[in-house]
Structure 1
């Protein structure tokens, strides 16, 4: 089995719309905003997958568990989730229900068309694929977000210029979410260090299965391995090797949650020499074997 079939990645919005029982749209659209409210009970199943676009979904009414990367979070009324390109997602309603809400899908090139990518990512760190972005809103916050989505829906089909207006509304929404996020006091970091750390995290997210040597990441970033290690440690408190190990461990957890994959297949996907090497790595970082983790996950998710 080709490696990219373990967790498939989809490039257009219709993958998401299909599993929400909604009509398809043109695959060339750079963004799509919609609201939904089912008129009849439905059981929704969204298989584990990745996508190449951003997904901000705002649930007015909902009651189910949602998996983003390896974290499982409850989705309730007035919950918003932000999924970034490359993140793995899965959810399934245990019973039939009538969820309602709003969503906007947009491609990275759309949001970064008029903004510097590094500046945006430094100001809005939850746009990185390593974050689990679940926002539980107050009634007042929920009402404000609902107004924004309604305005975007009104504007999206207004012809030339609609894209620019939608882009501004998206940034307004993102900065509102930034203020909802609990503020953390962090030491001031030089802009050069911040940019290098962000670029390193992006490289890890995209290449951890292909590149395992920190020296190679340093070469791609045109810095020495020592400079890379010092900068990453200063910015995050973790070493580059820890970032790489965490990315591999996260992918391992996602794959272990799929019953149809053997431990040997997962070891192959993650570029370990064999299953015993993978098992030793997993036990070292998770304090349990891969099979113990799978068994524990299955026991927690039983109806």
Structure 2
């Protein structure tokens, strides 16, 4: 799953891509949700994917958030934290949507005097509930912070980005003090979703179409981290739904692709091994022999 880049985000929102976006030491921007939705011609939903930037949203309206095995229904106001590590799906349940959101890269906060590391904060840890339901009073407090962001970003103040970093941290700490919204769907439905998303992540890595293409998810731990679940939970879910372990499913799909590449390309064995995530040719040969009782060269011939 290729993460949505900042350039893709701006293209999808029908906004001009800021000049020098790839030269900035940390990017930041803030948006009004209703204005952005008015410009978008397609659906309002945010598709299930991950992004190459952090995002904090305060949204008013009926919505459903899907994070791995967590499906959360929101009645009115919510605060949502998105990290590059964890994909999510956002589904509006009515047309009355409003609010604000800001996007920023990790480097944006690195320059803060605290030297804060985003991935170390509880709110951005895999396995948590990064969606928080808000009372009307809490929603107004959050909206006030976003209003300060909008005002500061458009100002000529020389040190405005120092202030904006403080506002981002204020949102983060506000969220960490809230009680997260709980998953409202039954566990068997959530388990089925984890199984489905695992297969989707697995299949998105194939087919291999270039000797320079390399699969990014190779182990059960890789998939568990991407889905924000414990590896033991992922293994249990897949065993229940498929009768196979996570490792068995991954190995089977990698073997299938290996056979295709050996038969249908003229790539050498080291190139195929690289594409399939093996650091050493010997590791690939041992894997293939264990699965088929043949070496890769013997199978090819």
Q: TM-score range by the shorter chain?
A: 0.5 to 0.7
1:108 Cα deviation from its structure 2 partner: 0.7
RMSD: 3.8
Query: Taking structure 1 as reference, are residues 74 and 251 closer, same or farther at Cα in structure 2, changes over 3 Å only?
Result: closer
Structure 1 CA distance for aligned equivalents of residues 242 and 93 of structure 2: 26
- Separation in 2 of the partners of 1:101 and 1:166? 18
TM-score under structure 1 normalisation?
Answer: 0.55
Deviation at 1:181, TM superposition (A): 3.3
- 2:123–2:172 Cα contact (<8 Å) kept: no
- 1:66 and 2:65 aligned: yes
Is residue 25 from structure 1 mapped to residue 17 from structure 2 by the alignment? yes
Residue 80 of structure 2 is matched in structure 1 by: 81
- Range moving further from structure 2, 125-134 or 97-106: 125-134
CA change 1:290–1:153 in 2 (3 A) is farther
* Cα separation, 1, equivalents of 2:234 and 2:42: 40
1:282 Cα offset (Å): 8.4
Distance in structure 2 (CA, Å) of the matches to 1:164 and 1:145: 19
Could you tell me how far 1:10 is from its partner in structure 2? 2.5
The 5-angstrom pairing of residues 1-303 of structure 1 reads 7-12=1-6, 14-19=7-12, 21-26=13-18, 27-28=21-22, 30-37=27-34, 38=37, 43-60=43-60, 62-93=61-92, 97-114=95-112, 115-117=114-116, 124-159=121-156, 160-181=158-179, 253-256=196-199, 261=203, 270-271=217-218, 284-286=235-237, 287-290=239-242
Maintained 8 Å contact 1:282/1:289: no
SS in 1 for 2:132: strand
Match of residue 298 from structure 1: none
Q: Deviations over 1:179-224 (max 9, x none)?
A: 2237xxxxxxxxxxxxxxxxxxxxxxxxxxxxxxxxxxxxxxxxxx
Runs of 5+ consecutive residues of structure 1 not aligned to the other structure: 1-6, 183-249, 274-280, 293-303
Cα deviation, residue 73, structure 1 = 1.8
Query: Given that residues 55 and 84 in structure 1 are in contact (C-alpha distance below 8 angstroms), is that contact kept between their aligned partners in structure 2?
Result: yes
Q: Which structure 1 residue ranges, 4+ long, deviate > 6 Å from structure 2? A: 262-265
| Unmatched segments (≥5 aa) in structure 2 | 181-192, 208-214, 221-231, 245-301
TM-score under structure 2 length normalisation:
0.56
Question: How far did 1:121 drift?
Answer: 5.9
Q: Distance in 1 between matches of 2:66 and 2:105?
A: 22
